[in-house]
Amino acid sequence: MNLAAKMVSGVDIWLDTPIRPFEASGTSDMKAAHNGVVNFSVLDGWLIEGRVENITGWAIGPRPEESLSEEETRIAEINDIYNKLYYIIVPMYYDRKDEWFQLIKNSIGMIAYYFSSHRMMRRYVIRAYL
């Protein structure tokens, strides 16, 4: 736990590239958001419902409902990674710090607020017991 706390607190962007649809849930991404880390991840797991493009971070690749072959998906993901890093993420991080800090605030305020143990327990009680 101590090592994980040190690692997450020293991160600026959380790059998560699981092979879809094998992301278990994305709790590492959620943990990153709770620590003010901006997400840059494949649209799988929690990110489908939890991210707001350009507001809380960025998605990599096509949306899940897009019918692409595995090869087309990989190409789209690769293109997205390089294009977003080159044209959006790196320039913002180095040249537009105010925008970057707003992403951090949005990540904490929107993702960390929504994906919390309080919400999980409410949903569990409602779906399992009521």
pLDDT at position 101 over 90:
yes
What token pair was written down for 60? 């990599």
Prediction pTM value: 0.81
Pairwise pLDDT comparison (105 vs 3), residue with the higher score: 105
User: Which CATH number is 2-129's, of 3.30.870.10, 3.40.50.2000, 3.30.450.40, 3.30.360.10?
Assistant: 3.40.50.2000
11-41 in b/e form (b: 16+ CB < 10 A) is: eebbebeeebeebeebebbbbbbbbbbbbbb
Pairwise pLDDT comparison (48 vs 109), residue with the higher score: 109
User: In whole angstroms, what is the distance from residue 116 CA to residue 121 CA?
Assistant: 9
User: What are 53-100's pLDDT values in tens digits?
Assistant: 999 999 999 988 888 998 999 999 999 999 999 999 999 999 999 999
Alpha-helix runs per DSSP H in 38-129:
47-50, 70-84, 90-95, 97-106, 113-114, 117-129
